[in-house]
Copies of this chain bind each other. A is one copy, B any other.
Amino acid sequence: MKNYVLTPGPVPVPEFVMLEMAKPIIHHRTEEFEEIFYKATQGLKKVFMTEEEVLILASSGTGAMDAAICNTLSKGDTALVVNGGKFGERWLKICKAYGVNTIEIKVEWGKAVSPKVIEDALKENKSIKAILVQASETSTGVEHPIEDIAKLTKSRDDIILIVDGITAVGAFPVEFDKWGIDILIGGSQKAFMMPPGLAFIVLSKKAWDFNDKSDLPKFYLDLSQAHKNSLKKTSPWTPAVTLVIGLNAVLEYFEKLGLEKLFERHSILSEATTKGFEAMGLENFAKGCTSTALSVIKSPEGIDAGLIIKGLKKKYGMIVAGGQDQAKGKIFRITHMGYVDKADIISVIAGVEGILTELKYKFEPGSGVAKATQILDKL
């Protein structure tokens, strides 16, 4: 059976990117590769909406999350962590590994953090050195209000805002320079429509000042090394050559498409998906704070989401993601990132209609597809 990967990472990779990466390998210490590496960093700057150098790491996104902490904080520092899902939890674990104290803001899964709660926490604890948050929490489909949070840290020089944008950068605007974010992280297997294996990270001047004072040990993930080398169009360690070549091809495609169009695509795919499922009576799990990077949909009352996910795979070859931990069996998750187009969204909604009909769920067959198709006309 033909497979359709529709998970929020890995995401479908365009054929032209796969084939670009399948060309004969080149050596990384050559002018030819340095030019590709340089072009990729320049393209990344646009997507990260910054004039600062965006660093390319040979690691998965978690490597860059780790690097964000061990390159800027010190043992005994205190970080304020927004925990509204699996990746918020990961911030807590990284801090624990490095002996960084944490103040946790627990956010109900499916809700966004309130900037007011962060503001109050900052007032209560003057020693907080960093705020750690996701721009888009992949486990819940929530977009957190980064622009508003940045207002609390932008004018202070004793605190940095570290944003995991792995499921955000490239999908919707996360304005690094304009909002005054201090660290922003991306990953190849998300909106960059690449296979996993590369992570991206950019630091503000304030974050580099923190780097100067950080006493946590690092070597492979030492960002000052990566920075120094990136300015010379290279990386301190052997880069993941083929992935950088693929990334460059994607960034050229983004350049042709235009950043606004890229963001608009995600936005329309998101609207079509959430409204399509709503027309069938299926709720958006992140209502009111929906990340346009993915749709997280609640399974109807009394129906285990696992049945929908398994049914999609078995009957149609469609791979969507389930819920993790407390959300297991309650939700399913569909990517808008990657090489995904109108027909993918229409067919996954049709697929869920097919499965729910089998499961005797009461709804008007065709209603989801009809609603989504209508919205997708905007694209």
Considering the chains assembled together, what is the distance between the CA atoms of A148 and B51 in angstroms?
A: 54
Contact code string A1-38 (vs B, CB < 8 Å = 1, else 0):
00101010111110000110111111111100000000
Given contacts A217-B70, A217-B216, A60 and B238 within 8 Å (CB-CB): yes
In the assembly, how many copies of this chain are there?
Answer: 2
User: Does A83 touch B at the CB level, under 8 Å?
Assistant: no
Nearest B residue (CB) for A240: B197
Contact code string A260-304 (vs B, CB < 8 Å = 1, else 0):
000000000000000000000000000000000000000000000
Q: Tell me how far the C-beta of A185 lies from the nearest C-beta in chain B, rounded to whole angstroms.
A: 12
Contact code string A85-99 (vs B, CB < 8 Å = 1, else 0):
000000001100111
Other-chain residue from B12, B63, B97 in contact with A217 (beta carbon distance below 8 A): B97
For A178, list chain B residues within 8 Å (CB): none
Contact code string A342-358 (vs B, CB < 8 Å = 1, else 0):
00000000000000000
Considering the chains assembled together, what is the distance between the CA atoms of A236 and B61 in angstroms?
A: 12
User: Does A220 touch B at the CB level, under 8 Å?
Assistant: yes
User: Does A62 touch B at the CB level, under 8 Å?
Assistant: yes
Most chain B CB within a 10 A radius of its CB, from A70, A221, A238, A239? A238
Q: How would you classify the secondary structure of chain A's contact residues: helix, strand, loop or mixed?
A: loop
Nearest B residue (CB) for A30: B319
Q: Are A319 and B240 in contact (CB under 8 A)?
A: no
CB within 8 Å of B: which A292-343 residues = 319, 321
Contact code string A45-59 (vs B, CB < 8 Å = 1, else 0):
000000000000011
For A62, list chain B residues within 8 Å (CB): 219-220, 236-238
Q: Tell me how far the C-beta of A150 lies from the nearest C-beta in chain B, rounded to whole angstroms.
A: 25
Q: Tell me how far the C-beta of A205 lies from the nearest C-beta in chain B, rounded to whole angstroms.
A: 24
User: Does A243 touch B at the CB level, under 8 Å?
Assistant: yes
Considering the chains assembled together, what is the distance between the CA atoms of A11 and B19 in angstroms?
A: 19
User: Does A222 touch B at the CB level, under 8 Å?
Assistant: yes
Considering the chains assembled together, what is the distance between the CA atoms of A196 and B238 in angstroms?
A: 7
Q: Tell me how far the C-beta of A96 lies from the nearest C-beta in chain B, rounded to whole angstroms.
A: 9
User: Does A122 touch B at the CB level, under 8 Å?
Assistant: no
Q: Are B22 and A196 in contact (CB under 8 A)?
A: no
Given contacts A13-B24, A60-B240, 9 further A-B contacts (CB under 8 A): A10-B25, A11-B25, A25-B195, A59-B220, A63-B237, A70-B219, A197-B241, A197-B242, A240-B243
A-B pairs, top 9 by smallest CB distance, nearest first, are A197-B240, A66-B220, A22-B22, A195-B242, A62-B237, A18-B22, A97-B219, A60-B238, A63-B220
